[in-house]
Amino acid sequence: MDVKDAIANRLSIRRYAQASIPPDHMETLFKSLQLAASGNNNQNWEFVFVGDADLKSRLVGACANQSFVARCAYFIAGVADPSQKWHMVDITIAFTNFTLQAAELGYGTCWIGAFDENKIKDLLGVPDEKKVVICMTFGLPQGRHVARKRKAIDEFIFVERYGNRWRHDT
Ligand SMILES: Cc1cc2nc3c(=O)[nH]c(=O)nc-3n(C[C@H](O)[C@H](O)[C@H](O)COP(=O)(O)O)c2cc1C
């Protein structure tokens, strides 16, 4: 699969098959996090991978009762040092790499932004001075998932000046 296909195939997956993930796939996915760009190459990111069924069940309540959190292979918390300027961006780039690498390997992901940070910190033992920036579910998709609609390109691409819309025929 090339990058274009990985981008096109990535969808938010909220239904997961019960399957374990081979260690070599996990290593490839970890590499996708490791190789992400980051502000000043600070690599201001740490990731807590939760595969334990009981812990995942308890995480549901920390994630606005999104029940699929309990059924993914791994729930991942993206943790950063919030005293550094680009912490939100760094985590997001790394997780974006992860979503595309996962898509290439046939796995699904879903960003989880609806969460109670304090509850996640308590459950996962994240230190007070760190920030849980964003979370993600990951696993083998189950069933069919449908792509969500996107804005037309000319609604958000401007050329040279804000408001000067991209036209396909120019
Ligand atoms: C920052 C962020 C937070 C999100 N939080 C949630 C969430 O808590 N629960 C959920 O089901 N989806 C969540 N999503 C997924 C979006 O709903 C999804 O990306 C969007 O609807 C587009 O669909 P697609 O990912 O299938 O292309 C989040 C996405 C982002 C980028």
Establish if 137 belongs to a structural domain.
yes
Q: Is the CB of 121 under 6 A from ligand 1?
A: no
pLDDT of 129 reads 98
Give 115 Cα–ligand 1 centroid separation in angstroms.
12
Q: Any idea what the CATH number is for the domain that residue 40 is in?
A: 3.40.109.10
Evaluate if residue 90 carries a pLDDT over 90: yes
- Rounded to an integer, the average pLDDT of 81-100 is 97
Q: Is the CB of 113 under 6 A from ligand 1?
A: yes
Give 113 Cα–ligand 1 centroid separation in angstroms.
7
Residue keyed to tokens 């740490």: 46
Please report the atom of ligand 1 found closest to the CA of residue 147. 26
Domain span holding position 27: 3-143
- Rounded to an integer, the average pLDDT of 122-141 is 98
Q: Is the CB of 114 under 6 A from ligand 1?
A: yes
Residue keyed to tokens 């959190």: 69
Render pLDDT for 47-77 as a digit per residue (tens, 0 to 9).
999 999 999 999 999 999 999 999 999 999 9
Establish if 152 belongs to a structural domain.
no
Give 112 Cα–ligand 1 centroid separation in angstroms.
7
What's the predicted TM-score (pTM) here?
Answer: 0.96
Evaluate if residue 84 carries a pLDDT over 60: yes
Task: Name the strand (E) or helix (H) holding 27.
Answer: helix 23-34
- Give CA–CA dist 170/152, Å, rounded: 16
Evaluate if residue 170 carries a pLDDT over 60: no
Pick the residue whose CA is nearest to atom 18 on ligand 1. Answer: 12
Establish if 94 belongs to a structural domain.
yes
The strand ranges marked E within 1-142 are: 46-50, 74-80, 108-112, 131-139
Parallel/antiparallel/unpaired status of strands 108-112 and 46-50: unpaired
Render pLDDT for 141-169 as a digit per residue (tens, 0 to 9).
999 889 999 999 999 999 999 999 998 77
Render pLDDT for 28-46 as a digit per residue (tens, 0 to 9).
999 999 999 999 999 999 9
Establish if 15 belongs to a structural domain.
yes
Establish if 92 belongs to a structural domain.
yes
- Rounded to an integer, the average pLDDT of 99-128 is 98
Q: Which of 112, 132, 136, 149 to mutate to test the pocket of ligand 1 (most atoms within 8 A of CB)?
A: 112
Q: Which of 13, 111, 116 to mutate to test the pocket of ligand 1 (most atoms within 8 A of CB)?
A: 111
Residue keyed to tokens 């940070």: 117
Overall number of domains in the chain: 1
